[in-house]
Structure 1
Amino acid sequence: MAVKERKFVKANARQETKVEVTPRTKEERRQKATGKRIAAFVFWILALACEVAFILTLNKTLYIEKNMLYWQLGFLIVDAILVIVGAQFWKRANDVDPASEENKLKFFLWNQMGLIAAAVCLAPLVILLITNKDLDKKTKNILLPVAAAALVIAGLFSWDWNPMSEEEMTQTITEYSGDTVYYTRFGKSYHLNPDCQALQNSSIVFEGTIQEALDAGRHDPCDFCVKQ
């Protein structure tokens, strides 16, 4: 089978020579992640606004004369989308500035802020729809499944399935300092060998430092590369 032609792209185009990588200080990591954390909270606040708008239409405090059901569906869907987008910003911030795993509870809560946001912004709507006695059956039969699906989907997309700890990041950077690593646009791992079999079908391969790979959310070393 012919090997697919690949293009190697530098993760940092301005970096021409190999750089010895040292772990960032806590302050440097925090500064680099701040913008992403702010963006996450902005999206979550907007999601809360959609939640409030839905509740106001549900109890008829906010009256929309035409297409009320469509407005309510819109608030639900946009609410879920905003939660998910906010969670992606939060996860990218954690790629740059991960929490310490010394405190297991704090580590879990910090990494699963997206899931918490999904619960806060969507779970109350499901409960309200279940307990609402005044809503007509047809409307409830439409809104309730959509709200439940929005909660589940937002929760799944907001969950951080493979969070890295501060200690793991420091150890990884120290171990691979000075090495060039490789990763793809949709892959989950970083590779030590540019000719790794897992990279053969990727048309674009990014190359850079281990820090750049971790910043891109590639936390795991490729199993094939590690065995070599």
Structure 2
Amino acid sequence: MSDQKVFVASDESKAKAKQFRVFAFLAWIVAIALQFFAIFKLISDETMVWLIVVIVVILALAIVASMLWKKANKLDPASEKDKVKFFVQSQLGAIMGVLAFLPLVILIFTNKDLSGKTKGIAGSIAVVAMLVAGISGVDFNPPSVEQYTEEINKQTSVLKDMNVPDNVHWTSAGNKYHIYEDCYHIANRDNKTTGTVKQSFEQRGISELCKTCEKRALGENENTPE
């Protein structure tokens, strides 16, 4: 158990995650503000077209916000130990996506001054938009500290089984870590970083070993006399 490595998001990852979350909240705030504008100014037969336009804009903002929120969670995930916090942080995109439309949907269908045609068209579009915003905000495989910890230890064990030290290389644009600094995939790159598997995961979210390096390491092990 002493060799167990626990995932901790790097300061850089936390800063990026914070930035993504701020932009996500700004998008949600604008979306909800537009919803209130639509509720007070656009629920009428005469402004149905503008109501539909605003619904589409709200949907776009909700989807963008959810994407940013998911990116933030990948960089700085919650722990599964606190079930409520983990659920809210993981699924906030879906929650906010629904909230960006639900009051509007209710008021469209309960407004006595609207014609059946306007209710049918605008109401249906609003319902579909709410469903799209909600579903697009759901994270079906939310990242967690525990999940990342398990992956880090799994990858570290892979290196150990190949008699390779936990000292790997990666680039700022890559999505794999490398055992060999002279691997042809990164040999001519200037932006290489060296560290442990844990660091590659915490700093770049990299959890996959380069297949070329893996094949080379296995070959060297086979040729090494016992």
Q: Distance in 2 between matches of 1:26 and 1:179?
A: 17
Question: Could you list the per-position Cα deviations for residues 25-79 of structure 1 after superposition, in whole angstroms to 9, with x for gaps in the alignment?
Answer: 565543231110111011101101210111012457xxx9xx6221100111111
Aligned residue type for 1:43: A
- Counterpart for residue 221 of structure 2: none
Question: Could you list the per-position Cα deviations for residues 134-181 of structure 1 after superposition, in whole angstroms to 9, with x for gaps in the alignment?
Answer: 111111111011000000111111111111111221332343255679
Size of the aligned set, in residue pairs, is 176
- Counterpart for residue 35 of structure 1: 19
Overall identity of the aligned pairs, in %: 34
In structure 2, the CA distance between the partners of 1:191 and 1:161, relative to structure 1 (3 Å rule), is: farther
Q: Contact 1:23–1:174 at 8 Å: present in 2 too? A: no
Q: CA deviation at 1:125?
A: 1.1
TM-score, normalisation: structure 1? 0.65
- Counterpart for residue 185 of structure 2: none
In structure 2, the CA distance between the partners of 1:97 and 1:79, relative to structure 1 (3 Å rule), is: same
Q: Contact 2:78–2:86 at 8 Å: present in 1 too? A: yes
Q: Is 1:49 aligned with 2:36?
A: no
- Structure 2, unaligned runs of 5 or more: 157-166, 179-192, 194-199, 210-226
Q: Which of 101, 111, 123 is residue 144 of structure 1 equivalent to? A: 123
Note the 1:163-202 alignment, pairs <5 A. Answer: 163-176=142-155, 178=167
Q: Distance in 2 between matches of 1:171 and 1:77?
A: 41
Note the 1:14-93 alignment, pairs <5 A. Answer: 23-25=7-9, 29-58=13-42, 68-93=47-72
Larger Rg: 2
Q: Which of 107, 113, 123 is residue 128 of structure 1 equivalent to? A: 107
Name which structure has the greater RCO, CA cutoff 8 Å, separation 6+. Answer: 1
Q: Is 1:214 aligned with 2:193?
A: no
- Structure 1, unaligned runs of 5 or more: 1-20, 182-189, 194-207, 222-228
Compare the two structures and name the one with the higher helix fraction. 2
Q: Is 1:113 aligned with 2:104?
A: no
CA root-mean-square deviation? 3.5
In structure 2, the CA distance between the partners of 1:25 and 1:146, relative to structure 1 (3 Å rule), is: closer
Aligned residue type for 2:90: N
Q: Contact 1:101–1:107 at 8 Å: present in 2 too? A: yes
Question: Could you list the per-position Cα deviations for residues 178-222 of structure 1 after superposition, in whole angstroms to 9, with x for gaps in the alignment?
Answer: 5679xxxxxxxx8899xxxxxxxxxxxxxx95456637xxx899x
Q: Contact 1:179–1:210 at 8 Å: present in 2 too? A: no
Question: Could you list the per-position Cα deviations for residues 101-131 of structure 1 after superposition, in whole angstroms to 9, with x for gaps in the alignment?
Answer: 1011211111111111112111111111121
Aligned residue type for 1:94: N
TM-score, normalisation: structure 2? 0.65
Q: Distance in 1 between matches of 2:115 and 2:6?
A: 62
Aligned residue type for 1:106: K
